[in-house]
Amino acid sequence: MAEKPTGFNYIEHYKKDAVEFDYFEERKGATLHDERRVHEYILSRIDKKAGIVLDIGCGSAWLAETLTTHGLSVVSTDIALANLKKAKVKVPVMNHHQTALDSFNLPFNDKSFDYVVASEVIEHVPDPGAFIKELSSKVKPGGKLIITTPYKEKLQYVLCIHCNEKTPVHAHIHSFDENKLSDYFSDEQKPRVKYFVFGNKYLIFARTYMLLQFLPFSLWKPVDRFTSFFLRKDVHILIEYTG
């Protein structure tokens, strides 16, 4: 079991965050398209025939909404009960379960899940190394840990009007690339880790989504790669660890 990290009170922070912000609100425009491609990239790494999936920080419960229709069982988790209540209402099926928990101390046996997914979460946590260690321990032999996060993000800060201290925008407190992420895995684990960078910034913010939104993932992916070959500005990285 991973040690609980010290520092800011992340538990109370994200419980309040769930009350103040609606992760189930409808996205629009470039944001909607970008989230769609992140979701599709994750789904492309999952065998949808069978399995049990642990979704860490389930957000809008999009993973449960998709995978339960294929017969997989999904355990949606969040530190805030408020989000899980919404997730249950959104995906009210027997093979969708909800559990409020601290991802640094997961209440499951080791090697319990076929897939553990944490999408756009690790940049928020106080101790990424402990986070990865705890999540990877729950993956079955041959199963996968899948993590997505912003790629080489330039962290931005504002001055908080309440405490007069620098506060990270969007609560992102870490920035990652392949090398930094690799350091969180042991030498024994590293050969079983893959990285995929994607989501070209120019395609996202140049309003090309108005055309690219009509492309299925299988066609969008080579377009994204081709653009990045000439204009290397990817905004997402996916880590895949096989147990």
pLDDT at residue 5, as a whole number: 47
Report if residue 143 sits inside a domain.
Answer: yes
- Residue 27, pLDDT score: 79
Taking residues 130-139, report their average pLDDT. 97
Q: Average of pLDDT values for 141-163?
A: 92
Average pLDDT, integer, range 36-50:
93
Which tops the pLDDT comparison, 94 or 24?
A: 94
d(CA 101, CA 75): 11
Whether 1 maps to a domain, the answer reads no
Q: Quick check: 12 pLDDT over 90? A: no
Tell me the helix, strand and coil percentages in the chain, rounded to 5: 40, 25, 35
On the question of pLDDT at 14 being above 80, the answer is no
Q: Is residue 32 part of a domain?
A: yes
Q: 91 or 155: which carries more pLDDT confidence?
A: 91
Long-range contacts of 43-52 (CB under 8 A, 24+ apart): 43/67, 44/217, 45/144, 45/146, 45/238, 45/240, 46/115, 46/117, 46/144, 46/146, 48/72, 50/114, 51/113, 51/114, 51/115, 51/143, 52/112, 52/113, 52/114, 52/115
Percent of the chain with pLDDT over 90: 69
Residues spanned by the domain of 157: 10-242
In a domain, 48, yes or no: yes
Q: Once rounded to an integer, what is the mean pLDDT over residues 104-132? A: 96
Instruction: Output the pLDDT for position 42.
Output: 98
Q: Is residue 5 part of a domain?
A: no
**Across 74-86, average pLDDT:** 93
**Alpha helices of the chain — where are they, by DSSP H?**
10-20, 29-44, 62-67, 81-90, 128-136, 178-182, 201-205, 209-212, 217-230
What is the overall mean pLDDT for the chain?
90
More confident call, 206 vs 197: 197
Question: Would strands 96-100 and 234-242 be described as parallel, antiparallel, or unpaired?
Answer: unpaired
The pair of three-digit structure tokens given for residue 54, joined into one six-digit string: 């642990």
Average pLDDT of the segment spanning 223-243: 94
CATH number of the domain that residue 85 is part of: 3.40.50.150
Mean pLDDT, rounded, for 36-60: 94
| Structural domain count, the chain | 1
Model pLDDT for residues 54-73, shown as the tens digit of each residue? 999 999 999 999 999 999 99
Check whether 203 has a pLDDT greater than 50: yes
- Assigned domain for 177 exists: yes
pLDDT recorded at residue 50: 78
Taking the C-alpha atoms of residue 146 and residue 148, their distance in angstroms, rounded to an integer, is: 7
In this prediction, residue 212 carries a pLDDT of: 86
What is the average pLDDT across 225-240?
Answer: 94
pLDDT of residue 217: 96
Q: CA 153 → CA 7, 146, 169, 234, distances in Å? A: 22, 19, 12, 10
- The verdict on residue 4 lying in a domain is no
Give the C-alpha separation, 241 to 136, whole Å: 8
User: Within 10 A of 113 (CB to CB), how many other CB atoms are there?
Assistant: 25
DSSP state of 37: H
Answer whether residue 165 is part of any domain: yes
Report CA 60 to chain centroid distance, whole Å: 12
